[in-house]
Chain A
């Protein structure tokens, strides 16, 4: 199982995602200007401030050459995980529904939050506690999930909401406490919290590992098997 982590100019958490993914499999960095995914089994679009978040968070990164390959990989059913800025990039690219807006507080927020796993039977959540809670930090200025009401109803009905902020833990004003959503096919997932920052017991929580372990389990069962 091999993860590929995209590195844009201005990415910050790509090395962290690389280290976290390396705990459950092989992992390599994918350069933004390359047209090659190096044969990876899953792609992670990491956090940070790609292109400085200038214009809009994620707006410029989605046009990086490597993103064309990522979009094709996703269309072919490959697993794509977007974390924070990566979530924003995937929304801008149209691979995920909705958009991320500036936090209600208008400020950057770092906070260890509790997340409720809405579905524990997906490619990204199968290894975790089903309907359990995860303790994972958020850190962002632009993390308020938004979609029109009808779209939110549709997302919930279709089971595309995978993670919610636990009651009292919504750090940004996300509609319906949504912390992470997947696409209709279930192979592209974006979340604002940073699972790669909850993988080491010395750091306080290892709950983030379940996301990477779930991806490995899914790939080993459905792709590599």
Chain B
């Protein structure tokens, strides 16, 4: 399976990257933007999707400061490194 792990700052944690974006958008004329958070996207092919949560807890994220969510992604034919 091609999986997508979405990593975002845990709710309530100060997210200065999100704040910076939230401040920058109105300056460019994009009004009405709220609750911006900047996280990470990790894409990976896995043989056993059942092990993904464990991967997230142990390496891909720091559970103290980050939340994660797993999505299935479309397969890709060619990989690049």
- For A, the interface residue count at a CB cutoff of 8 angstroms equals 17
Chain A neighbourhood of B59, CB < 8 A: 55, 59-60, 63
One of A99, A102, A104 near B64 (C-beta < 8 A): A99
The answer to whether A185 has its CB under 8 Å from any CB of chain B is no
Would you call A106 and B16 a contact (CB within 8 A)? yes
Query: Chain B binding site: helix, strand, loop or mixed by DSSP?
Result: loop
* Smallest Cβ-Cβ distance to A60: which chain B residue: B59
Query: Chain A binding site: helix, strand, loop or mixed by DSSP?
Result: loop
Given contacts A101-B13, A146-B13, contact A106 B62 (CB under 8 A): no
Q: How far, in whole Å, are A100 and B51 apart by their CA atoms in the complex? A: 27
One of B20, B60, B64 near A106 (C-beta < 8 A): B20
Q: How far, in whole Å, are A103 and B64 apart by their CA atoms in the complex? A: 17
Q: How far, in whole Å, are A55 and B41 apart by their CA atoms in the complex? A: 10
* Smallest Cβ-Cβ distance to A147: which chain B residue: B64
Supplied contacts A56-B62, A101-B14, A146-B14, 9 more A-B pairs, CB within 8 Å? A59-B59, A59-B62, A63-B59, A99-B64, A101-B13, A105-B16, A106-B17, A106-B20, A146-B65
Q: B residues engaging A (CB < 8 A)?
A: 13-14, 16-17, 20, 59-62, 64-65
Q: A residues engaging B (CB < 8 A)?
A: 55-56, 59-60, 63, 92, 98-99, 101-106, 146-147, 173
A-B contact pairs, 29 of them (CB 8 A): A55-B59, A55-B60, A56-B61, A56-B62, A59-B59, A59-B62, A60-B59, A63-B59, A92-B62, A98-B64, A99-B62, A99-B64, A99-B65, A101-B13, A101-B14, A101-B65, A102-B16, A103-B16, A104-B14, A104-B16, A105-B16, A106-B17, A106-B20, A146-B13, A146-B14, A146-B64, A146-B65, A147-B64, A173-B14
